[in-house]
């Protein structure tokens, strides 16, 4: 097996803030003489609106500006550089063709106030995406408005509330398993519900007995992540749904892990009433700094009246129309029509893959995670033995015996040139190491990662100090996270003393 | 370190009983599990809170955890110093970092609290119920 060498050194050029660089008078522009008559500024703008100087405005040459931003970009680790195995985050590669499509003039230059007749193409993209997402999830209708997964959760729960209120009683609580992402109980709270914890059983799945004990007429619904954050499919989901429906409660599914089951299982077929998807996970649109997220929400017909307005409807002649006449709607949850640039990218991905391609993506994601699991099992403690799908959760139990903890392992992995996996989540696993390779990693990249993890496991036994003091190859080592959280410095101030020039 | 003059809960709160009043904080084990505490949120004085209900949160660099009321009662006093100095929870969990003082609402609930021996056995067995 050939293993390519990983980077042994990260960018080490230090770089000051742009405000601390340059020198007055230095500049990067050289304007040629104007070929139109010159007029004084004071003729054009009121004196009181003009200022002579901007305090601290940097003055730099072009080369300094280019180097400044190039150096900063060098500090970045991103999915175009290497494996990014953050569990629960599905950091899959974002195909470049998506970018090309999102930048087509007819999409990129749209204005949201254009009349419907001039944006039929864009509405068609959104309508097609809605139809595709409904088909993939087995649901009836979809809103594309929410701007992130957590925003989708809130939108979904507001609809749950509206549904119960339309039946006369809002109900009080939402059941949330203890393995859930922190956004789940938070969304329940913000939607005005009490979040009630449901403990997992020894297999790492929802406990039906515990559920029965917590079920009562005040329960508005349950939020289930499936597969859950341990990567385990909630096999009792259909029975859980039956029990919820028996008391008139609804089933919300956190669909952040949909990448594990596209084309294999449909939430709409196992009792889910409402769910959100993360386009920036499952459907290959960029995460965070790479672009805004998008968290579409899919519902069954019973909840459709409450969807945020407007929805896109297709008229008899095939034209698309924005429908604002939705009296029971919870209202708008986002300006205009959501993150349109993400919708065009996600649709491009779905259409390029097709049904078989999406299924293959999920199967490969599961296969890759199983490969990592089988290679690391033994060196790292497997928190739950049940079969896992797209991700696998280890713990630092074996390493802790040598005084090395999950944070140290994560930092050491940086020395081997990898972004660390998710750590310390899910909370049900002490010292959790949550790895999700996704389908877009090659065998070689996975082997290099596995190799690094195994080396670190050995180092924990032979040279624990080396792991505890990692990273050794980065520009900055460990930062004082506690102090940063207790006394955050949120604003740069010019250094005191005589002004630098 | 488990002072034997205090009572405990399985959620890792300690309770110092003084007549009809009780002082409440989190244990050494809890602060050690949490790691560096960066934020503490406590209820206003005057609130009435039921046993087992959430009375506040502690946030560490690792996680946010709820604080559970060991006993039903009315909050008489709150240790507001923790808002500016959350590190005290790590430094002195049984002393400086007491969290709230309450008037005990139902003395029969005292029976449900753990003794220092029981709590010691509980954390020796891992410190959680699942
Ligand atoms: C299981 C799960 N649910 C919800 C979310 C929230 O999604 P977002 O980050 O898009 O708000 C995440 C994201 O990390 C997640 O992993």
Q: How many whole angstroms separate alpha carbon B58 and alpha carbon B53?
A: 15
Do A266 and A176 fall into the same domain? yes
Do A233 and A263 fall into the same domain? yes
User: Quick check: is A19 in a domain?
Assistant: no
**A10-24, A205-219, B48-62: which has the minimum mean pLDDT?**
A10-24
For B37, which residue in chain A has the nearest alpha carbon?
Answer: A482
Say which residues have a Cβ less than 8 Å from residue B16's Cβ, sequence separation at least 6: B5, B6, B22, B23, B24, B98
CB contact under 8 A, A482 and B62: no
- Return the number of CB contacts < 8 Å for A and B: 27
Structural domain containing residue A403: 357-474
Query: Cα-flanking dihedrals φ and ψ of residue A371, to 5°?
Result: -65, -50
Helix (H) or strand (E) holding A198: strand A194-198
User: Quick check: is A450 in a domain?
Assistant: yes
CB contact under 8 A, A427 and B64: no
Sign of CA dihedral A379, A384, A387, A389: negative
Query: Cα-flanking dihedrals φ and ψ of residue A174, to 5°?
Result: -125, 130
Beta bridge partners of A275: A253, A298
Pick from A478, A485, A487, A488 the residue to mutate for testing the B interface (most B CBs within 10 Å): A485
Say which residues have a Cβ less than 8 Å from residue A202's Cβ, sequence separation at least 6: B130
Do A277 and A394 fall into the same domain? no
Per the structure block, which two tokens stand in for A311? 């929805």
Do A234 and A126 fall into the same domain? yes
Give yes or no for residue A372 having a pLDDT over 70. Answer: yes
Do A345 and A276 fall into the same domain? yes
Q: Is A204 left (phi over 0), alpha (psi -120 to 50) or beta?
A: left
Burial class (CB in 10 A: 0-12, 13-18, 19+), A448: buried
Give the CATH architecture of domain B7-109+116-124.
Beta Barrel (2.40)
Do A341 and A362 fall into the same domain? no
Q: How many CB atoms lie within 10 A of CB A203?
A: 13
Q: What average pLDDT does range B37-45 have in this prediction? A: 95
Length of chain A: 501
Give yes or no for residue A467 having a pLDDT over 80. Answer: yes
Q: pLDDT at position A55, please?
A: 78
Q: How far is the CA of B12 from the centre of ligand 1 (A)?
A: 29
The C-alpha of B18 sits at a distance from chain A's nearest C-alpha, in angstroms, of 32
Do A241 and A371 fall into the same domain? no
Sign of CA dihedral A142, A144, A150, A151: negative
Boundary-marking domain end, from A332, A352, A372: A352
pLDDT in tens, B97-120: 999 999 999 999 999 999 999 999
Q: pLDDT at position A312, please?
A: 96
Do A148 and A208 fall into the same domain? yes
User: Quick check: is A144 in a domain?
Assistant: yes
Who lines ligand 1 at CB under 6 A? A 88-89, 148-150, 181, 183, 225, 229, 254, 256, 278, 293, 295
User: Quick check: is A487 in a domain?
Assistant: no
Q: What average pLDDT does range A139-143 have in this prediction? A: 98
Domain with A333 in it: what CATH number? 3.40.640.10
Boundary-marking domain end, from A301, A326, A352: A352
For A485, which residue in chain B has the nearest alpha carbon?
Answer: B38
- pTM of the full predicted structure? 0.87
Q: Tell which B residues from 22 to 61 touch A, by Cβ distance under 8 Å.
A: 35-39, 59, 61
Domain with A375 in it: what CATH number? 3.90.1150.10
Q: pLDDT at position A275, please?
A: 98
Do A288 and A378 fall into the same domain? no
Do A233 and A198 fall into the same domain? yes
Q: How far is the CA of A176 from the centre of ligand 1 (A)?
A: 15
For B90, which residue in chain A has the nearest alpha carbon?
Answer: A482
**CA A165 to chain CA mean position, Å:** 31
Give yes or no for residue B130 having a pLDDT over 70. Answer: no
Q: pLDDT at position A8, please?
A: 52
Q: Is B63 on the interface with A (CB under 8 A)?
A: yes
Complex ipTM tops 0.85: no
Give yes or no for residue A401 having a pLDDT over 70. Answer: yes
Minimum-distance CB partner of B61 among A199, A427, A482: A482
DSSP code, position A176: E
User: Quick check: is A87 in a domain?
Assistant: no
Q: pLDDT at position A9, please?
A: 60
Cβ(B7)–Cβ(B14) below 8 Å: yes
Q: Is B112 on the interface with A (CB under 8 A)?
A: no
For B84, which residue in chain A has the nearest alpha carbon?
Answer: A486
CB contact under 8 A, B36 and A428: no
Give yes or no for residue B129 having a pLDDT over 80. Answer: no
Indicate the top mutation candidate among A183, A228, A291 to test ligand 1's pocket, ranked by most ligand atoms within 8 A of CB: A183
CB contact under 8 A, B63 and A200: no
Q: Where are the domains of chain B?
A: 7-109+116-124
pLDDT in tens, A69-86: 998 888 888 899 899 999
Do A326 and A268 fall into the same domain? yes
Helix (H) or strand (E) holding A177: strand A173-177
User: Could you give the number of structural domains in chain A?
Assistant: 2
Boundary-marking domain end, from A330, A352, A374: A352
Q: How far is the CA of A161 from the centre of ligand 1 (A)?
A: 21
Q: pLDDT at position A501, please?
A: 42
Do A299 and A413 fall into the same domain? no
């Amino acid at each position: 097996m050939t293993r390519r060498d990983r980077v042994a050194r990260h960018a080490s050029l230090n770089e000051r803030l742009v405000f601390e660089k340059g020198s007055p008078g230095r500049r990067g522009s050289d304007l040629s003489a104007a070929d139109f008559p010159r007029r004084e500024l004071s003729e054009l703008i009121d004196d009181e609106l003009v200022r002579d100087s901007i305090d601290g405005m940097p003055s730099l040459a072009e080369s300094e500006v280019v180097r400044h931003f190039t150096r900063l970009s060098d500090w970045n680790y991103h999915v175009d550089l290497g494996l990014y195995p953050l569990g629960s985050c599905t950091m899959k590669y974002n195909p470049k063709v998506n970018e090309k499509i999102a930048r087509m003039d007819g999409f990129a230059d749209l204005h949201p106030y254009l009349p419907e007749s001039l944006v039929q193409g864009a509405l068609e993209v959104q309508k097609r995406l809605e139809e595709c997402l409904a088909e993939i999830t087995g649901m009836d209708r979809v809103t594309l408005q929410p701007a992130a997964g957590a925003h989708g959760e809130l939108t979904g729960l507001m609809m749950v509330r509206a549904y119960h209120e339309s039946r006369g009683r809002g109900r009080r609580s939402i059941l949330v398993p203890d393995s859930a992402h922190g956004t789940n109980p938070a969304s329940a709270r913000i939607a005005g519900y009490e979040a009630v914890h449901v403990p997992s059983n020894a297999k790492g799945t929802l406990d039906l007995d515990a559920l029965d004990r917590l079920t009562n007429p005040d329960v508005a619904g349950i939020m289930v992540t499936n597969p859950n954050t341990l990567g385990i499919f909630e096999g009792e989901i259909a029975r859980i749904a039956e029990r919820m429906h028996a008391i008139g409660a609804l089933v919300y599914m956190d669909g952040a892990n949909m990448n594990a089951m596209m084309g294999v299982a449909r939430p709409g077929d196992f009792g889910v009433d409402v769910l959100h998807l993360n386009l920036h996970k499952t459907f290959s649109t960029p995460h965070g700094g790479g672009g805004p997220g998008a968290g579409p929400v899919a519902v069954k017909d019973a909840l459709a009246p409450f969807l945020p307005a407007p929805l896109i409807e297709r008229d008899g002649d095939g034209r698309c129309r924005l429908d604002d006449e939705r009296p029971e709607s919870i209202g708008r949850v986002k300006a205009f029509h959501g993150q349109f640039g993400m919708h065009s990218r996600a649709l491009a991905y779905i259409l390029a893959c097709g049904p078989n391609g999406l299924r293959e993506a999920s199967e490969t994601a599961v296969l890759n995670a199983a490969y990592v699991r089988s290679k690391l099992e033994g060196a790292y403690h497997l928190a739950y033995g049940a079969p896992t799908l797209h991700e696998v959760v280890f713990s630092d139990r074996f390493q802790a015996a040598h005084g090395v903890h999950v944070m140290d392992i994560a930092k050491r992995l940086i020395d081997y040139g990898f972004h660390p996996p998710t750590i310390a989540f899910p909370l049900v696993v002490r010292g959790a190491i949550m790895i999700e390779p996704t389908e877009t990693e090659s065998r070689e990249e996975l082997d290099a990662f596995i190799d690094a993890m195994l080396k670190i496991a050995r180092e924990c036994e032979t040279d624990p100090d080396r792991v505890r003091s990692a990273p050794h190859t980065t520009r900055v080592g460990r930062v004082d996270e506690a102090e940063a959280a207790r006394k955050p410095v949120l604003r740069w101030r010019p250094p005191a003393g005589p002004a630098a020039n | 370190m488990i002072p034997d003059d205090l009572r405990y809960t399985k959620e890792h709160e300690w309770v110092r009983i003084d007549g009809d009043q009780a002082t409440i904080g989190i244990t050494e084990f809890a602060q050690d599990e949490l790691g560096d505490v960066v934020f503490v949120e406590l209820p206003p004085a005057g609130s009435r809170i039921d046993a087992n209900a959430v009375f506040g949160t502690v946030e560490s660099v690792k996680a946010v955890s709820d604080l559970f009321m060991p006993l039903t009662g009315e909050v008489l006093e709150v240790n507001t110093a923790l808002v500016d100095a959350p590190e005290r929870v790590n430094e002195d969990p049984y002393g400086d970092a007491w969290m709230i003082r309450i008037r005990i609402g139902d003395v029969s609930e005292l029976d449900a609290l753990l003794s220092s021996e029981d709590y010691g056995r509980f954390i020796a067995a891992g410190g959680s119920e699942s």
